[in-house]
């Protein structure tokens, strides 16, 4: 290859990557636009997944979270694992957690972490993650009971604990969150083994919603056996284009980093997925199943796609 050809190729490569570079460096100044109703006494929280890189985009996404906090003052956040990538030295906790979320921490937002495969299990002792020295735990907010699981090591002891806690739970809403997705269309695919073990338990005890990360995208899955699944693992890392809306995924977003806001009031759960630049990439309402009535979701897909019709619980279980 001669020098002229090399230069031409270099120029072409630079031109090709320019839009991506522009996106990477774009500042987070888009106007925050809240799509949640802010009902009185509602349970409000932030959902973050796979965030602990300490890089510029994590900080930009965190800044956007704070923009939305000002509109929607949530009281707590859930972390879906991979909270600290790479080394776990004290300076890493500062760079990858304490500094990006300083504004939220200063505002007394309580972080509740689950462990990911990149996390040192000793994070359970790190007080700001509120694991209470345990790999898995449960906590309650308003009319919602949360089950924080360690999907890296789903031993029979943990499953027995989960069954016991679910059986004892009298809460209206049951929300489980952990790192590995049981349903996804992203490259690494769903955790089939985990699904085999957890899904019967979730169905038996009426878990309503499941949040997971691991895949560096946003995905809302069609309800599976009456359970609503979200993948929200794109709060710092990103796999561009790694989502395939279709039979399994109702809405996918993998063009930029993202996070979610959730509000629960009575039997309604309102959700909004937001990009690093402040754009709403998905929103909707899940109505909880009450008695014999099935759970439903109504959502408005963003962009030019027609609004989604309300979806019942009987979506076919995918093989993927």
**Chain residues in the site for another protein (CB under 8 A):** 86-90, 92-93, 117-118, 120-122, 125-128, 131-133, 135, 151-157, 180, 188-189, 191-194, 196-197
Alpha-carbon dihedral angle through residues 252, 151, 257, 275, given to the nearest 10 degrees: 60
Considering beta carbons, is residue 88 or 272 the nearer one to another protein? 88
Query: CA 297, CA 313: separation in Å to the nearest integer?
Result: 9
Beta carbon of residue 55, minimum distance to another protein (angstroms, whole number): 16
DSSP codes of every residue in 218-229: EEEEEEETTEEE
Q: Count of CB atoms within 10 A of residue 171's CB?
A: 17
Beta carbon of residue 204, minimum distance to another protein (angstroms, whole number): 17
Which residue from 290, 293, 291, 286 is spatially nearest to 311, judged by alpha carbons?
286
Considering beta carbons, is residue 89 or 305 the nearer one to another protein? 89
Considering beta carbons, is residue 132 or 241 the nearer one to another protein? 132
Considering beta carbons, is residue 57 or 154 the nearer one to another protein? 154
Query: CA 64, CA 131: separation in Å to the nearest integer?
Result: 26
Longest alpha-carbon distance in the chain: 74
Considering beta carbons, is residue 37 or 86 the nearer one to another protein? 86
Considering beta carbons, is residue 118 or 174 the nearer one to another protein? 118
Beta carbon of residue 162, minimum distance to another protein (angstroms, whole number): 12
Query: CA 194, CA 154: separation in Å to the nearest integer?
Result: 8
Beta carbon of residue 194, minimum distance to another protein (angstroms, whole number): 5
Beta carbon of residue 69, minimum distance to another protein (angstroms, whole number): 22
DSSP codes of every residue in 138-181: EEEETTEEEEE--TTS--HHHHHHHHHHHHH---SEEEEE-SS-
Considering beta carbons, is residue 43 or 149 the nearer one to another protein? 149
Which residues, 6+ apart, have CB-to-CB distance to 20 below 8 Å?
none
Considering beta carbons, is residue 110 or 268 the nearer one to another protein? 110
Token duo for residue 297: 């979701």
Q: Count of CB atoms within 10 A of residue 288's CB?
A: 21
Beta carbon of residue 103, minimum distance to another protein (angstroms, whole number): 18
Beta carbon of residue 220, minimum distance to another protein (angstroms, whole number): 22
Beta carbon of residue 223, minimum distance to another protein (angstroms, whole number): 23
Alpha-carbon dihedral angle through residues 227, 228, 234, 238, given to the nearest 10 degrees: 80
Which residue from 83, 181, 87, 76 is spatially nearest to 123, judged by alpha carbons?
83
Token duo for residue 22: 């522009």
């Amino acid at each position: 290859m001669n020098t002229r050809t090399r230069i031409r190729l270099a120029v072409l490569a630079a031109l090709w990557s320019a839009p991506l570079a522009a996106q990477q460096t774009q500042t987070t100044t888009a106007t925050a636009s809240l799509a949640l109703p802010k009902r009185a006494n509602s349970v409000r929280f932030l959902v973050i997944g796979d965030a602990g890189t300490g890089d510029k985009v994590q900080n930009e996404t965190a800044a956007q979270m704070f923009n939305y906090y000002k509109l929607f003052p949530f009281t707590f956040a859930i972390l879906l694992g991979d909270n600290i990538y790479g080394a776990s030295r004290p300076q890493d906790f500062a760079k990858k957690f304490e500094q990006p979320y300083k504004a939220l921490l200063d505002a007394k937002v309580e972080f509740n972490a689950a462990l990911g495969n990149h996390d040192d299990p000793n994070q359970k002792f790190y007080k700001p993650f509120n694991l209470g020295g345990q790999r898995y735990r449960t906590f309650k907010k308003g009319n919602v009971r949360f089950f924080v699981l360690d999907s890296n090591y789903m031993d029979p002891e943990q499953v027995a604990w989960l069954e016991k806690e679910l059986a004892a739970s009298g809460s209206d809403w049951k929300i489980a969150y952990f790192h590995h997705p049981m349903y996804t269309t992203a490259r690494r695919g769903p955790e089939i083994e985990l699904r085999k073990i957890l899904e019967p338990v979730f169905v038996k005890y009426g878990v309503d919603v499941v949040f997971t990360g691991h895949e560096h995208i946003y995905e809302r899955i069609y309800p599976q056996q009456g359970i609503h699944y979200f993948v929200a693992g794109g709060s710092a890392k990103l796999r561009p284009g790694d989502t395939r809306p279709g039979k399994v995924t109702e809405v996918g977003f993998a063009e930029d980093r993202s996070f979610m806001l959730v509000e629960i009031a009575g039997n309604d759960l309102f959700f909004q997925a937001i990009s690093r630049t402040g754009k709403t990439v998905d929103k909707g309402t899940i109505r909880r199943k009450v008695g014999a009535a099935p759970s439903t979701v109504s959502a408005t897909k963003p962009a030019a796609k027609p609004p989604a019709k309300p979806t019942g619980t009987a979506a076919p279980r995918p093989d993927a």
